[in-house]
């Protein structure tokens, strides 16, 4: 029996990265797609608790969720599937998710939700600076990476215990990659990302999130930013335990 894989994303159910991933993985797995109707980029790990959610089947094992987040989609898929999922992949995201951006990312949140349900989960993102080019972007290299990871999963299982609450955050460079690097989460440099404008009627509006991608060089292990800049696929193991253990004693003394 083929493995059962759930796909979701935050770019919407018609996103080219999701469609390419579904087509590629269908050769080796039984694939179910549950994705938001609309783009939900940077929605974080939000779930919908104040409104009803409507789910519509638009094809064989292909569903869209009106007004849903990636986390909603994973919850719904787990609830309605007649067969347990062996693996959850969130992506292929239209843009990278590195450094502290993982805290904003709806794509990463899809993998987090799967991890909370003790299902092996991977967030998969395609790095590209000009998002307008995704209409013409070829996801062949990204889907090849996805297939390699799935094959490794089938051969060796997931690298972590399901009780460890850890998942893989994978970022893929543009074009052919130079190999795969295991990386630490980098540290992105943020500035004020509120851009105020005035419309023709004299009223103000603003855009958020238009900062260029810059990061801080750090000592130690290669960061996700550095790996992508050098043309490598970046795989970062991420844990859901956010406790700063090194500071427990310091905080105790502070009290």
pLDDT for position 253: 97
Amino acid 195: pLDDT: 83
Over the stretch 86-129, which tens digit does the pLDDT of each residue have? 999 999 999 999 999 999 999 999 999 999 999 999 999 999 87
Tens digit of pLDDT for each residue in 43-90? 999 999 999 999 999 999 999 999 999 999 999 999 999 999 999 999
Judge whether residue 131 has pLDDT over 70.
Answer: no
Q: Model confidence at 218, in pLDDT bands (50, 70, 90)?
A: confident
User: Backbone phi, then psi, for 199, in 5-degree steps?
Assistant: -80, 170
Residue 11 marked in a binding site: yes
- Residue among 98, 74, 72 at smallest CA distance from 87: 74
CA pair distance 128, 173, nearest whole angstrom: 7
Q: Which CATH number fits domain 4-182+219-250: 3.30.499.10, 3.40.225.10, 3.40.1210.10, 3.20.20.80?
A: 3.40.1210.10
235 forms beta bridges with 170, 182
Is the torsion defined by CA of 7, 115, 187, 211 positive or negative?
positive
Q: How many CB atoms lie within 10 A of CB 174?
A: 16
- pLDDT for residue 86: 98
Nearest alpha carbon to residue 95 among 142, 147, 35, 62 = 142
* DSSP state string for 77-141: HHHH-SS--SEEEEEEEES---GGGGGT-HHHHHHHHHHHTT--EEEEEE--S-GGGGGT---HH
Residue for token pair 């292909």: 62
Q: What does the mean pLDDT of the chain come to?
A: 94
Q: Which of 6-20, 148-162, 183-197 is predicted least confidently?
A: 183-197
The confidence score (pLDDT) of residue 193 equals: 77
Residue 10 annotated in ligand binding: yes
DSSP the chain: -PPEEEEE-SS-TT-HHHHHHHHHHTTTSEEEEEEESS--TT-TT----SS--EEEEEETTEEEEET--HHHHHHHHHHH-SS--SEEEEEEEES---GGGGGT-HHHHHHHHHHHTT--EEEEEE--S-GGGGGT---HHHHHHHHHHHHHHHHH--SS-TTS-EEEEEEE-SSS---EEE-B--EE-----EEEEE-TTS-EEEEE------EE--SSSPBHHHHHHTT-EEEEEEES----GGGHHHHHHH-
Per-residue tokens: 121: 């989960």
Residue 210 confidence (pLDDT): 64
The response to whether 41 counts as a known ligand-binding position is yes
Quote the percentage of the chain above a pLDDT of 90: 84
* For residues 28-51, average pLDDT: 96
The response to whether 130 counts as a known ligand-binding position is no
| Residue-level pLDDT at 133 | 67
In the structure, what pLDDT confidence band is assigned to residue 209 with cuts at 50, 70 and 90? confident
């Amino acid at each position: 029996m083929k493995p059962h894989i759930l796909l979701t994303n935050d770019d919407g159910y018609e996103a080219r990265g999701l469609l390419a991933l579904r087509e590629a993985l269908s050769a080796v797995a039984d694939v179910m797609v549950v994705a938001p109707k609309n783009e939900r980029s940077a929605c974080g790990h939000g779930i919908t608790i104040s409104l009803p959610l409507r789910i519509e089947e638009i094809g064989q094992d292909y569903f869209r969720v009106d007004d849903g987040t990636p986390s909603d989609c994973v919850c719904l898929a787990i609830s309605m599937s007649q067969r347990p999922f062996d693996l959850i992949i969130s992506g292929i995201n239209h843009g990278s998710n590195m450094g502290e951006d993982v805290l904003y990312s709806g794509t990463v949140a899809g993998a987090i939700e799967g991890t909370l349900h003790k299902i092996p989960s991977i967030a998969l993102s395609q790095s590209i600076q000009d998002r307008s080019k995704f209409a013409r972007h070829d996801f062949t290299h990204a889907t090849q990476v996805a297939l390699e990871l799935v094959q490794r999963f089938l051969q060796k299982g997931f690298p972590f215990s399901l009780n460890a609450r850890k998942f893989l955050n994978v970022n893929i460079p543009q074009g052919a990659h130079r190999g795969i690097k295991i990386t630490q989460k980098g540290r992105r440099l943020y500035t004020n990302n509120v851009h105020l404008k005035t419309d023709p009627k004299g009223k103000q509006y603003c855009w958020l999130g238009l900062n260029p991608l810059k990061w801080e060089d750090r000592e130690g292990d290669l960061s996700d930013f550095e790996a992508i800049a050098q043309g490598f696929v970046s795989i970062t193991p991420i844990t859901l335990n956010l406790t700063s253990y090194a500071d427990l004693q310091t905080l105790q003394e502070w009290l």
